[in-house]
Amino acid sequence: MVDIVHRIAVKGIAPETVSDAVATRAGIASWWIGETSGDDAVGGTLDFGADIVATVVERRTERVSWQVKEGPQEWIGTHITFDIRQDGDWTVVLFKHEGWAEPVEFMHHCSTKWGVFMLSLKQYLETGTGSPTPHDTLIDNWS
Amino acid sequence: MVDIVHRIAVKGIAPETVSDAVATRAGIASWWIGETSGDDAVGGTLDFGADIVATVVERRTERVSWQVKEGPQEWIGTHITFDIRQDGDWTVVLFKHEGWAEPVEFMHHCSTKWGVFMLSLKQYLETGTGSPTPHDTLIDNWS
pLDDT of residue A49: 86
pLDDT of residue A2: 80
Rounded to 5 degrees, φ, ψ at B21 are -65, -35
Helix (H) or strand (E) holding A92: strand A90-98
CB contact under 8 A, A116 and B119: yes
Please list, in sequence order, all residues whose beta carbon lies within 8 angstroms of the beta carbon of residue B86, skipping any fewer than 6 positions away: B14, B15, B92
- Chain A residue at shortest CA distance from B139: A8
CA atoms within 13 A on the CB side of A62: 1
CB contact under 8 A, A119 and B139: yes
Q: Of all residues in chain B, what percent carry a pLDDT higher than 70?
A: 99
Please list, in sequence order, all residues whose beta carbon lies within 8 angstroms of the beta carbon of residue A17, skipping any fewer than 6 positions away: A91, A125
CB contact under 8 A, A9 and B141: yes
Report the mean per-residue pLDDT for chain B: 96
Write down the ipTM of this complex.
Answer: 0.96
Q: What is the pTM of this model?
A: 0.97
Instruction: Tell me the C-alpha distance between A16 and A91, whole Å.
Output: 10
Q: Please name the residue ranges forming H helices in chain A.
A: 15-23, 25-31, 105-127
pLDDT reading at B1 higher than 80: no
Say which amino acid occupies B13: I
Report the mean per-residue pLDDT for chain A: 96
Rounded to 5 degrees, φ, ψ at B140 are -160, -170
Please list, in sequence order, all residues whose beta carbon lies within 8 angstroms of the beta carbon of residue B143, skipping any fewer than 6 positions away: none
Chain A residues close to B90, C-beta within 8 Å? 140-141
CA distance B101 to chain A (A): 12
Q: A9-68: per-residue pLDDT in tens?
A: 999 999 999 999 999 999 999 999 988 999 999 999 999 988 899 999 999 999 999 999
- Chain A residue at shortest CA distance from B9: A140
Greatest alpha-carbon pair distance for chain B in Å reads 40
More reliable by pLDDT, B49 or B128: B128
- Chain B residue at shortest CA distance from A120: B139
Instruction: Tell me the C-alpha distance between B123 and B13, whole Å.
Output: 12
Chain A and chain B share a number of CB contacts under 8 A equal to: 103
pLDDT band at B50 (very low <50, low <70, confident <90, very high): confident
pLDDT of residue A26: 95
Helix (H, G, I), strand (E, B) or coil at B124: helix
Closest by Cβ to A8, choosing from B1, B7, B140: B140
pLDDT reading at B108 higher than 70: yes
Q: A2-12: per-residue pLDDT in tens?
A: 899 999 999 99
CB contact under 8 A, B122 and A139: yes
Output the CA–CA distances (angstroms, integers) from residue A75 to A41, A97, A114, A137, B124, in the order listed. Answer: 21, 9, 13, 21, 32
